[in-house]
Structure 1
């Protein structure tokens, strides 16, 4: 149990670090690294399935705190920023969709095979699509930053403008996570040789 707990904490801290660094967007990293938040929540749901009671709220709290420090660090009041409105709180169900997608994949995957690869692609597309629909839709229809009049036609156009960039960023980090997962799985299966000479 201690090893499992240690592994889970290490995974959580690694994901939190990646999200913190890429979400913070310091000047040296601006435009150099895509925000990993969406990929992190998907991978967290996969690797930390069953730990949502503590891991999901902590990752959400980190996301909000990073946003707060970035915005106030620019000398802007947090609540008056373009991206912060009543729609901001819809990030909870948005990121929740990504977590659930990763968790669903963890429950239904069959190991390192083509079936799991297909399930992973499907889970990522559905979870990312749901996240994007909720986050983009809530911002468009609720945020005062979007000028009136609003229309479904304009919303659909906006959905189309940003969908692929968000999908690419999410898929990039999910793909990197998949590589790490495959390598870790293969290493755990590798035979371990003792230091004793054979008899």
Structure 2
């Protein structure tokens, strides 16, 4: 991966984590929402580079994973925009949810369905990275743990679990992005076996 992809893989989850610190009663607000939207764009760019590196080792997964990640990231951005608009129009979370309920097709397609897609995609990514041995097992385990903790924090809006989930994901992606380029996968002796 290029330095740009590696940097994006770190800045994306880090930006998402930063957005969480702007929560007020579990809502992002204008500042947190803006950071989250931008973080999703950056994170997606990094994931494209990561999937390119994975493609030779898991081509079918990489082909399916990209559009799924794009849909999940769009859902994350949609929640960011929701926070921005709630703040701008001074709407409570109850009023926002009530307004969304009047438009179930749009709400489901843009928020409630893609919302869980991102953490599920990260969980699948962790499993693939573990199976292909492209990263150390502890890194894949951290990624899976962060992916599982993510919805456990976001659905009930529990700050402490959200900070833990974000931290797990940031550490996992730092490890993925900046692992030594000379490390190779155990089952493939080729120089191309590493994410580099």
TM-score computed with the length of structure 1 as normaliser = 0.34
* Max Rg structure: 1
TM-score computed with the length of structure 2 as normaliser = 0.34
